[in-house]
Amino acid sequence: MAPDRNDNDLESIDREIIRLISERSNLYIRMLKSRLAGDGLFSAEYRDRLFKLIEEANTGPLSDQILKRIYTDMVTGSMTIIAPVTVAFLGPEGSFSNIPVNEFFNEGAASLPQRTIQDVFQQVESGKAHYGVVPVENSTEGSVTYTLDELTETSLNIISEKYVRVTYSLLSRLKDITSVQKIFTHPQTLGQCKAWIRNNLPDAEIVSVESTSRAAELASREPDAAAIASDIAAGIYHLNILATMIEDSRQNYTRFFLIGRDGSKPTGNDKTSIVCAVRDKPGALLGLLKAFAAAGINMTKIESRPDKKKMWEYNFFIDFIGHQDDAIVKKALEKIRKEAIFLKILGSYPVGN
């Protein structure tokens, strides 16, 4: 039976889409090869521009998010044709750090789960991984100090940032929540889901483990157990999702950095992170902050951390709006250098969401 006209129309459109994808991929690969010597494969500036184009041009019915995932697959696929792309992250598989890895690269990159944040930095510094993904702060728990300490010492740059909402699910081999007798969970995770457990599974045995991924792994081995973990862990460990969004707070976000050896070019909507130390004298910090105020630069964060090399001295981590290549930012940084005894630019990158 011959296909009707609609089938023919769809096939014609599909052929044209496939042709254009191939043409686009070849063009993008040539562009990547031309910039490899200086900027590396991943470009936060290009990704930001591409996503803005999708938001401006998309007329539906597919959502912007779906189109962004499709384009991320195409971009990462083109990158891997030139060279395998490896990304180190704080593991194990199925942890929340998996989520920003997928946001940046989807499944086109090879993931290298690491036991510690220091290991993530070392993998990228040694060249065993092209990029790294590390948590830097949580909206309820504050800054991840291990990441701040590593950023102070590393030669790597912050390339991009991503905010991930921390949402937990109840995962199990079971299909009925009423049959759950035991819950594996990380202690911190338990603290964020106490009210839900009290209301829904008050009699379940609680077993503390070292990570949400470990919880999912153990739940996959026991017929009457469940785990509190991310949805991504359900797919990895072949578990059913019995309940979603079981966390007590809906305003729990973690900010992640993508780190690498290269920098990011200006997009017009950028953020810069620096770390600095001031002289031990009255008004030293005020003098440093005045440089931002005088330039009209908006600071989004300032935090102090003890300097591990000098007792009772502190480093200040500062985020502000603007790119280090912007003229107004350059002038402000010049003034800060005069006030500070130490200044390091950690990276400029598109403002994340």
Q: Catalytic residues, which ones? A: 254, 256
Looking at this protein, which amino acid is placed at residue 24?
Answer: R
Q: Which of 255, 279, 281 is nearest to 336 (CA)?
A: 279
- Kindly tell me the burial class for residue 353, based on how many C-beta atoms sit within 10 Å of its own C-beta (0-12, 13-18, 19 or more): exposed
Q: Give exposure, 287-308, as e/b (b: 16+ Cβ within 10 Å).
A: bbbebbeebebeeeeebeeeee
Residues forming a β-bridge with 315: 305
Angle between helices 64-82 and 5-39 (to 10 degrees): 50
DSSP secondary structure string for all residues of 176-240: -GGG--EEEE-HHHHHHSHHHHHHH-TTSEEEE-S-HHHHHHHHTT-TTEEEEE-HHHHHHHT-E
Q: Are strands 270-278 and 169-172 parallel, antiparallel or unpaired?
A: unpaired
Distance between CA 200 and CA 246 in Å, rounded?
A: 10
Find all residues with CB under 8 Å of 275, minimum gap 6, and list them: 148, 151, 152, 315, 316, 317, 318, 342, 343, 344, 346
Q: Are 185 and 208 spatial neighbours (Cβ–Cβ below 8 Å)?
A: yes
DSSP state of 298: P
Reduce the DSSP state of residue 77 to 3 states and report it.
helix
Q: Which residue in the block uniquely carries the two structure tokens 């003890």? A: 306
Closest CA to 316 of 304, 300, 333: 304
Structure tokens at 323: 């790119």
CB 91 within 8 A of CB 213: yes
